[in-house]
C-alpha cells in the first residue's frame, strides 16, 4: 500500500493483508506481531521421551498447585474486600482445577501422547472450552471463558507470563481485546503498537497506547485469524491501517515515515521548554495523568505543572491485589516526591466498569459501567475508603497532594465521601500522624447528573475535574470501550460541550477551580474549543504533553471564545467537527 499523504492510499498488490480499523493512537511502527491471548493455540508442542514423563507430570502438578494457591489467595482477598459472593468466583475457578476428569485427561495426554505438559493442558482445555461454548445453556457457555482462563494461567505458571511470546525484540501487540488488567501487567518497554479487534477510542488500552506514545488501532474484525505471531506488521495509527507482511516498497516507505516522525517529535519536544500560555498571554496549567511513580518521574522531567490525575486503581491492578494502607502510602509517596512541591492529585479507587483488581469482574454485571463501580463500591466499604484516605493523607506530608473522588453522581455521594475523609483525618490526628491539614479535595464530573449540579458540588469541595472519557460515554450512551459504536463516540457533540460549559460555569459561580483530565484535553483539535469554554487547567498523559502545549501556544483567546460559542450553539457533532476542521470519523488526529 502506498500512503501518498495522510488519508490517501494506493493498494500495493504485494502486501499480504491490509487491515483497516478505528485509529486510536497516532504514530508509525513496524515490528513483528505478537498475538496475545491465544496462548492455548500458540503453545509449543514438544515430543518427550518416556523418561521425561514423570518430570512433566511433576511440572504440571507444581503449576496447578501454584495456581490453586493464587486463586485461594484471591478468593480470600476479594471476599474480605468485596464480600463472600465475589470471592466465590475465584473459588469456583479453583474447583475447575480440582475436577479429577480434567486433570486425569491432561495426565493421560502426557503419558500416552508423550507431549510436554503445557501442550497437554492446551489440548485438554481447548477440548473442554469447545464443548462448553457449544452448550445451549448460557451458564455453561459462560464457563468456557473461565476454563480457557484457567488453562492459560497454568501454562503461564509453567512458562512465565511472557515466556510464551517467542519474540525477544520489540513487537506490535495483536489481541482480540485488551482489558485494563492485561495492560497493567504488560512488559511495556517491548510494545511498539497495538492492534485489537474490540475496544473503542477511549478504552484503557487506547489510553495506554497514547500515554506510551505508540500507535494503535482497534475494531479489526477477525484479527486473530488474520495475523500470526512473528509476522511483520507496518502500522499507521493515525490512519487506522495495519499491513501484514508488507512488500519491500511498503517497508521502505514506512521506514522513512517513521524517521520523519522521529524528527517531528524531536522538534515538537522543544516546545516543552516554553511556557504554557496562549498567544495573548493567558496562562494554562498543563499537568500529567499518571499511573505510577515512574510516570511521575517522567512527568517531572517533561516539566509538567503537576499531576492532574493519578489513577490509583492502576497501582492496585499492577500489583494484582488490594494494597493495604502502608503499601499505598509507599506508592503515593513515590509519585509525590518527584514533583517537588507541585500539585499531585491522587484519585481514589475507580474499580468496576472495565477495571478490576485481578483479571475477573467479581460482580458479573450485565451493564458494569452503570453498575457497581468506583465510589459506589468504596462507600459500601468504609474500611477500603478509610485505608485509602489515610494513605493519601499520610503522603500529603511529603508534597502538595490533592484528593480527587471519581464517578460522583450526586451531592449526597460527595458528602458521604468527604465525611469519610474527615473521619480519616480525625483518626490520624488522634494518632499524632502528620498530614496536610489544608489538603484540597475535589470531585470528578464524569456523569451528566454531576455536570448538571456542578455549582452545588463545587460549593461543597475545593475543586472540580472533568473526566470527558466517561462524560461522553454517559451523555451519548456510547460505551467508550466498544468498537461497534466507536464512530458515535464524539466528544465534540454539542450536548457534551453544553455539559462542559455548565460545569465550568458551576465552578466559577462557587469560586472554585476546574480542570479537565479526560483524553479530550490531549487532542490538539479540541484545545482551542476547551480554552474558549473557559478551562484554564488540563491534565494529559505524558505522551501528549508536547502536542498539547503546542496547541495551547497556538490559541488566540478571542478567536477561541467565538469558536466555543458557535460550537455550543451548533445542532450536530458534524457541524462542530466542521468548525474545528476535524474529520468527524477520527478524533485522535496527528498533532
Ligand atoms: C475520564 O473518565 O475522563 C477519566 C479521566 O477517568 P478514566 O479514564 O480513568 O475513567
Ligand atoms: Mg472516568
Q: Measuring from atom 9 of ligand 1, which residue has the nearest CA?
A: 311
Render pLDDT for 413-435 as a digit per residue (tens, 0 to 9): 999 999 999 999 999 999 999 99
Residues with CB under 5 A from ligand 2 (ion): 446, 467, 470
For domain 2-37+176-265, give its CATH number from 3.50.30.10, 3.30.910.20, 1.10.150.120, 3.40.50.720.
3.50.30.10
Say if CB 591 and CB 553 are below 8 A apart.
no
Each domain of the chain, given as residue ranges in start order, spans 2-37+176-265, 44-159, 280-580
Q: Which atom of ligand 1 is nearest to the CA of 466?
A: 3
CA of 108 to the centre of ligand 1 (A): 49
Which of the listed residues 518, 519, 540, 587 should we mutate to test ligand 1's pocket, taking the one with most ligand atoms within 8 A of CB?
518
pLDDT digits (tens, 9 = 90+) for 148-157: 778 877 887 7
DSSP 181-205: HHHHT--GGGEEEEEESS--TTSHH
* CA distance linking residue 224 with residue 213, whole number of Å: 24
Residue 467 alpha carbon to ligand 1 centre in Å: 5
Q: What is the DSSP string of 321-336?
A: S---HHHHHHHHHHHH
Distance CA 521, CA 527 (A): 6
Catalytic position from the list 165, 398, 461, 517 = 517
pLDDT of residue 4: 38
Residues 6 or more apart whose CB falls under 8 angstroms from that of 419 comprise none
Atom 1, ligand 1: residue with shortest CA distance? 467
- pLDDT exceeds cutoff 80 at 257: yes
- Is a pLDDT exceeding 70 seen at residue 497? yes
What b/e readout covers 196-235, taking b as 16+ CB neighbours within 10 angstroms?
A: bbbbbbbbbbbbbbbbbbbbbbbbbeebbebbbbebbbbb
Q: How far apart are CA 105 and CA 121, in angstroms?
A: 9
Full-prediction pTM beyond 0.85? no
How high is the pLDDT of residue 368?
86
Ligand lying nearest the CA atom of residue 201 = 1
Give residues with Cβ within 8 angstroms of 68, minimum separation 6.
94, 97, 98
Residue 446 CB–ligand 1 contact under 6 Å: yes
| % of residues, the chain, pLDDT over 70 | 88
Query: Would you place residue 589 in the very low, low, confident or very high pLDDT band (cuts 50, 70, 90)?
Result: very low
Give the whole-angstrom CA distance, residue 492 versus residue 495: 8
**Separation CA 474–CA 331 (nearest Å):** 31
Q: Over 80: is that where the pLDDT of 12 sits? A: no
Could you tell me which residues are beta bridge partners of residue 38?
none
CA atoms within 13 A on the CB side of 122: 20
CA proximity to 468, closest of 412, 535, 416, 420: 535
Task: Assess whether pLDDT exceeds 90 at residue 362.
Answer: no
> 280-580, superfamily in CATH?
Phosphoenolpyruvate-binding domains (3.20.20.60)
Q: Does ligand 1 have an atom closer than 6 angstroms to the CB of 236? A: no
Q: Is the CB of 118 under 6 A from ligand 1?
A: no
More confident residue, 440 or 67: 440
Q: How confident is the model at residue 111 (pLDDT cuts 50, 70, 90)?
A: very high
**Residue 546 pLDDT > 80, yes or no?**
yes
Residue 505: helix, strand or coil by DSSP?
helix
Question: 368: how many CB neighbours lie within 10 A of its CB?
Answer: 16
Average pLDDT on 84-112 reads 80
> In this predicted structure, what is the pLDDT of residue 155?
84
Mean pLDDT of 514-542: 96
Cα(11)–Cα(3) distance, integer angstroms:
9
20 is catalytic: no
Is 588 one of the annotated active-site residues of the chain? no
How far apart, in whole angstroms, are the C-alpha atoms of residue 101 and residue 28?
A: 49
pLDDT at 183: 65
Candidate of 311, 356, 448 to mutate for ligand 1, largest count of ligand atoms within 8 Å of Cβ? 311
Dist CA 160 CA 162 (whole Å) = 6
Q: Is 345 in the pocket of ligand 1 (CB under 6 A)?
A: no
Closest ligand, as measured to the CA of 519: 1
CATH number, domain 44-159: 1.10.274.10
Ligand 1, atom 7: nearest CA belongs to which residue?
Answer: 469
- Tell me: the pLDDT tens digits for 115-146? 999 899 989 988 888 888 788 876 777 677 67
Cα of 470 vs centre of ligand 1, distance in Å, is 6
**Cell numbers 458479573 label which residue?**
364
Highest mean pLDDT out of 2-6, 107-111, 123-127: 107-111
Q: Residues 486, 436: contact at Cβ < 8 Å? A: no
Q: How far does residue 406's CA lie from ligand 2's centre (Å)?
A: 7
Ligand 1 pocket residue status of 384, Cβ below 6 Å: no
Cα of 343 vs centre of ligand 2, distance in Å, is 20
Contact 468 CB / ligand 1 (< 6 Å): yes
pLDDT band at 213 (very low <50, low <70, confident <90, very high): confident
pLDDT exceeds 60 at position 161: no
Atom of ligand 1 nearest to the CA of 468: 3
Q: How far is CA 145 from CA 132, 215, 256, in A?
A: 9, 29, 43
Active-site hit among 204, 398, 492, 588 = 204
Mean pLDDT of 283-302: 96
Say whether pLDDT at 55 is over 80: yes
Cell of 459: 460549593
406 phi, psi to nearest 5 deg:
-85, 165
Which atom of ligand 1 is least distant from the CA of 517? 5
User: Does the pLDDT at position 13 exceed 80?
Assistant: no
Q: Which residue has the cell 457533540?
A: 493
Query: What average pLDDT score do residues 367-386 get?
Result: 92
The model's confidence at residue 197, banded by pLDDT at 50, 70 and 90, is: confident
Determine the average pLDDT of the residues in 3-19: 59
Residue 514: partners with Cβ closer than 8 Å, 6 or more residues away: 445, 454, 458, 463, 464, 465, 466, 503, 504, 507, 508, 535, 537
288 lines ligand 1 (CB under 6 A): no
Amino acid at each position: 500500500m502506498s500512503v501518498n499523504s495522510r488519508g490517501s492510499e494506493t493498494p500495493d498488490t504485494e502486501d499480504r493483508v491490509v487491515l483497516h480499523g478505528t485509529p486510536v493512537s497516532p504514530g508509525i511502527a513496524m515490528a513483528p506481531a505478537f498475538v496475545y491471548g491465544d496462548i492455548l493455540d500458540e503453545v509449543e508442542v514438544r515430543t518427550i521421551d518416556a523418561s521425561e514423563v514423570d518430570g512433566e507430570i511433576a511440572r504440571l502438578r507444581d503449576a496447578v498447585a501454584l495456581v490453586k494457591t493464587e486463586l485461594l489467595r484471591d478468593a480470600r482477598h476479594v471476599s474480605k474486600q468485596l464480600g463472600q459472593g465475589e470471592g466465590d468466583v475465584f473459588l469456583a475457578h479453583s474447583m475447575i482445577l480440582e475436577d479429577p476428569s480434567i486433570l486425569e485427561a491432561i495426565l493421560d495426554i502426557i503419558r500416552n501422547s508423550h507431549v510436554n505438559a503445557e501442550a497437554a493442558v492446551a489440548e485438554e482445555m481447548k477440548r473442554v472450552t469447545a464443548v462448553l461454548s457449544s452448550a445451549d445453556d448460557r451458564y455453561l457457555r459462560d464457563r468456557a471463558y473461565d476454563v480457557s482462563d484457567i488453562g492459560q494461567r497454568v501454562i503461564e505458571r509453567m512458562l512465565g507470563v511472557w515466556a510464551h511470546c517467542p519474540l525477544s525484540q520489540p513487537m506490535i501487540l495483536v489481541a482480540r481485546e485488551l482489558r485494563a488488567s492485561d495492560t497493567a501487567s504488560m512488559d511495556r518497554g517491548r510494545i511498539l503498537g497495538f492492534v485489537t479487534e474490540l475496544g473503542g477510542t477511549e478504552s484503557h488500552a487506547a489510553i495506554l497506547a497514547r500515554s506510551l506514545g505508540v500507535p494503535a488501532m482497534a475494531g479489526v474484525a477477525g484479527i486473530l485469524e488474520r495475523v500470526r505471531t512473528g509476522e511483520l506488521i507496518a502500522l499507521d495509527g493515525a490512519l487506522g491501517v495495519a499491513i501484514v507482511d508488507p512488500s519491500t516498497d511498503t517497508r521502505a516507505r514506512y521506514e522513512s515515515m517513521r524517521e520523519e516522525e522521529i524528527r517531528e517529535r524531536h522538534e515538537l519536544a522543544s516546545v516543552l521548554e516554553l511556557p504554557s500560555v496562549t498567544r495573548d498571554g493567558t496562562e494554562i496549567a498543563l499537568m500529567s495523568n499518571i499511573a505510577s511513580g515512574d510516570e511521575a518521574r517522567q512527568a517531572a522531567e517533561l516539566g509538567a505543572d503537576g499531576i492532574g490525575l493519578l489513577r490509583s486503581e492502576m497501582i492496585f491492578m499492577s500489583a494484582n491485589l488490594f494494597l493495604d494502607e502502608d503499601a499505598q502510602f509507599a506508592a503515593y509517596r513515590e509519585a509525590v516526591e518527584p514533583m517537588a512541591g507541585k500539585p499531585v492529585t491522587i484519585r481514589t479507587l475507580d474499580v468496576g466498569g472495565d477495571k478490576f483488581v485481578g483479571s475477573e469482574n467479581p460482580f458479573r454485571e450485565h451493564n458494569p459501567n452503570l453498575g457497581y463501580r468506583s465510589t459506589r463500591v468504596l462507600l459500601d466499604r468504609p474500611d477500603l475508603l478509610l485505608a485509602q484516605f489515610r494513605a493519601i493523607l499520610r503522603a500529603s506530608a511529603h508534597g502538595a497532594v490533592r484528593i480527587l473522588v471519581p464517578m460522583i453522581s450526586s451531592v449526597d455521594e460527595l458528602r458521604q465521601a468527604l465525611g469519610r475523609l474527615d473521619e480519616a483525618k480525625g483518626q490520624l490526628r488522634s494518632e499524632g500522624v502528620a498530614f496536610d491539614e489544608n489538603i484540597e479535595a475535589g470531585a470528578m464530573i464524569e456523569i451528566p447528573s454531576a455536570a448538571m449540579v456542578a455549582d452545588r458540588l463545587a460549593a461543597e469541595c475545593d475543586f472540580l475535574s472533568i473526566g470527558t472519557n466517561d462524560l461522553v460515554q454517559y451523555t451519548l450512551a456510547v460505551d467508550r470501550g466498544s468498537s461497534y459504536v466507536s464512530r458515535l463516540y464524539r466528544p465534540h457533540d454539542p450536548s457534551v460541550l453544553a455539559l462542559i460549559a455548565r460545569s465550568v460555569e458551576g465552578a466559577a459561580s462557587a469560586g472554585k477551580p476546574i480542570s479537565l483530565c479526560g483524553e479530550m484535553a490531549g487532542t490538539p483539535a479540541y484545545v482551542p474549543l476547551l480554552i474558549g469554554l473557559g478551562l484554564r487547567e488540563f491534565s494529559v498523559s505524558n505522551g501528549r504533553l508536547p502536542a498539547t502545549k503546542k496547541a495551547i501556544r497556538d490559541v488566540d483567546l478571542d478567536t477561541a471564545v467565538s469558536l466555543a460559542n458557535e460550537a455550543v450553539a451548533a445542532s450536530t457533532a458534524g457541524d462542530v467537527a466542521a468548525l474545528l476542521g476535524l474529520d468527524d470519523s477520527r478524533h485522535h488526529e496527528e498533532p
